Amino acid sequence: MRPDALAYGIVFATAFGIALVLTPVCGWVAKRIGAIDDRVDDRRVHTAPTPYLGGVAMCLSILGAALVAWRMDAFRDVFADGGVQSPLNGVLLAAVIACVVGTWDDLRDVSPPAKTAGLVLSGSALYWMGAALFIVRIPFAGTIVLSWDMVPLVTVIWAMGMANATNFIDGLDGLAAGIVAIASGALFLYSHRLSDPNVNVLLVDSPAPLIAIVVLGACVGFLPYNFNPARIFMGDGGALMLGVVMAGATMLVGGQTDAQVSGRTYFFYLPLLIPLVVMGVPILDTAWAIVRRTRKGLSPAHADKNHLHHRLMRLGHGHRRSVLILWTWTALLSAFVLVPVYTDRGNSVVPIGIAAAGLVLYTYLHPGARRTRGIEG
C-alpha cells in the first residue's frame, strides 16, 4: 500500500515545523559564534551583516521528519527496503556530509579542492547506499544501462552538478529556497503519480516521494526568515545540502528503472528529464555561467555578477520582483511537466506556453525595465 495523503501531510508538517522553530535558533547561534556574512562588495545585494546556519536548520528538519516517518506504519515498506544501507539512508547521509562541508566553508572558507572532495564523498555515499544512477534515457534514442564501473562516476558528477547549480542560484534572498521548494513539490507530485499502481513505474516503497515532501517542508519553513529582507542565510551548507538531496531524489525517480509506460505522455518515458525541467532555472544559470567564464579564459568557479538574478536586477526589477519572476519560471516549467502527466493530453501545455510568453513580455516591458533601458540607452 502506498502512504496516503495524511501520512505525507504529517511528515511535511513535521519538516515545516522543525525548520520554522530551529531557523531563528540557528540564527542566534550564528551570531554568538560569529558565523555572519558581513562582506559587502559589488557581487552582493545585501548591505547588512546577516547570520548563516539556515542550512543547518533545514538539514535538521529533514532528518527530524525522516525520523517521524520511520516511526509511522504508512512508511514501513519505504524504510524496510535495504535496511540500514538503504537508498533513503544514503540520501540522508549524503545530505549531512554536504551540509557539514558547506557549513565549514561558511565558517572557515574551505579551499575549492577540499570542498570538491567533500562533495565527492557525499555523492559516493549516495552510490554506496543505492541512490545511484543506473539508467540514462536519451530523448528519441532509447535507454542506456550504465556499466558498473561508470555508475559511481556518473552518480558523483550528477550530485556535484546539482549541488553547484543550487549554490550558484543562491544569490538573492529567498531565491534558492523558493526554487527548490517548487521543484521538490513538483517532484513529489510526479513521483507519487509514477508509484500509482495503475501506472506502475516506481515501486510503492520508493523513497523519492518522501524525500521530496520533506525537502518541501524544510524549504517552506525556512522561507519566512529568508525572504527579502533576509534575517538569515542558508549559506553553502544549505545550498549544497539541498542540491545533493534533490540529486538523490531525482536519481531514485528516473535513474533506476527502464520500465516503459505504453500510451502515456512523452514525459513518462523520460523521468530523468524531470530534474532538468523543474530545476531548469539553476541548471540553465550554471551552464551559462560555465560557458561565459570559459569564453573569457576564467575558471568556471570564478565568481561574477552575471547570473540570471543579477541580470534581472540590472534590467530594473527590484530584489523581490526578480525572485518572484524566477519562482514563476520554475512553477511554469514544473507545470509543463506535471499537467500532461496528470491529464494525458499533450495540448494541455498550450496555456502554459501562453503564460510563459506573458512572463517574458512582463519581464522586458515592465515600467521599471523600460525606464532602465531608457537610461542605459
The pLDDT of residue 298 is: 66
Question: Dihedral, CA atoms, 276, 205, 248, 55, nearest 10 degrees?
Answer: 110
pLDDT at 160: 92
| Strand, helix or coil for residue 294 | helix
Domain count for the chain, please give it. Answer: 1
pTM exceeds 0.85 = no
Question: Which residue segment(s) compose the domain that 92 sits in?
Answer: 5-376
Q: Please, what is the Cα angle at 19 between 90 and 32, to 5 degrees?
A: 105
Per-run averaged pLDDT (10 residues), the chain, 377 residues: 90 97 96 82 64 95 96 88 79 96 91 92 93 71 76 92 85 87 89 76 82 96 92 94 92 64 40 54 65 68 58 64 80 77 63 70 56 47
pLDDT at 374: 47
Q: Which long-range contacts (CB under 8 A, 24 or more apart) does 308-312 make?
A: 308/169, 308/281, 308/284, 309/169, 309/171, 309/172, 309/175, 310/171, 312/363
- What's the full length of the chain, in residues? 377
- pLDDT for position 48: 75
DSSP-H helix ranges across 109-201: 112-128, 151-169, 175-194
H-run or E-run covering 91? helix 87-108
Give 107-116 contacts, CB < 8 A, sequence gap 24+. 107/33, 107/35, 107/52, 112/301, 115/236, 116/160
Degrees, nearest 5: CA angle 110-116-121: 110
List the end-to-end C-alpha distance of the chain, in Å, as a whole number: 62
